[in-house]
């Protein structure tokens, strides 16, 4: 079955840009929708947005001005950039797959904790 693995720094300074990459293995990145979500420590889940393999995107409205999603089909990877981070962006970040644009994320990564701190 498909596997997803995030990579990126676990510590980001306030006002800087958080950058994460998700590598898809045991499956193709084509014909699916690739989602980013996060979960602040001790809190609930939050959807950030998705990108299709062709580059179409949809973002959570409150994050839209700071989020950029991209996909690299040649590497079977997709990426998240979140700019101007604050302590409120400290969370476990997950990448996940959707089988179509309105499908719920089915396969999830294990999650990576990103802490925003100076």
Partner 1 sequence: QSVLTQPPSVSAAPGQKVTISCSGSSSNIGNNYVSWYQQVPGTAPKLLIYENDKRPSGIPDRFSGSKSGTSATLGITGLQTGDEADYYCGTWDSSLNINWVFGGGTKLTVL
Find how far residue 2's CA is from the centre of its chain. 16
- Which residue number, 16 or 63, has a Cβ lying nearer to partner 1? 63
Nearest-approach distance from CB 60 to partner 1, in angstroms: 5
Least distance from partner 1 to the Cβ atom of residue 25, Å: 16
Q: Is 77 in the site for partner 1 (CB under 8 A)?
A: no
Q: Which residue, chain included where needed, has tokens 């950039």?
A: 81
Can you list the alpha helix ranges (DSSP code H) found in 3-114?
none
Look at residues 29, 32, 65 and name the one whose alpha carbon lies nearest to residue 48. Answer: 65
Residues touching partner 1, count (CB under 8 A): 21
From candidates 78, 79, 109, 116, binder to partner 1 by CB under 8 A: 109
| Least separation in angstroms between CB 39 and partner 1 | 8
Which residue stretches of 2-113 are H helix?
Answer: none
In the window 86-105, what residues touch partner 1 (CB under 8 A)?
94, 102-105
Here the tokens at position 63 are 């994050």
Geometric angle at alpha carbon 23, from 52 and 15, rounded to 5°: 80
SS3 89: helix
Q: Is 3 in the site for partner 1 (CB under 8 A)?
A: no
Which positions lie near partner 1, rule CB under 8 A? 35, 44-47, 49, 58-61, 64, 94, 102-106, 108-111
């Amino acid at each position: 079955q498909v596997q997803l693995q995030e990579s990126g720094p676990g510590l980001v300074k306030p006002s800087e840009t958080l950058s994460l990459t998700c590598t898809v293995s045991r499956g193709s990145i084509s014909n699916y929708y690739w989602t980013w979500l996060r979960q602040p420590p001790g809190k609930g889940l939050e959807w950030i947005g998705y990108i299709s393999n062709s580059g179409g995107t949809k973002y959570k409205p409150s994050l839209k001005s700071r989020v950029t999603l991209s996909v690299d089909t040649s590497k079977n990877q997709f990426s998240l950039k979140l700019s101007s981070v604050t302590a409120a962006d400290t969370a476990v970040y997950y990448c996940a797959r959707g089988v179509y644009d309105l499908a719920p994320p089915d396969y999830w990564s294990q999650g990576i904790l990103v802490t925003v701190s100076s």
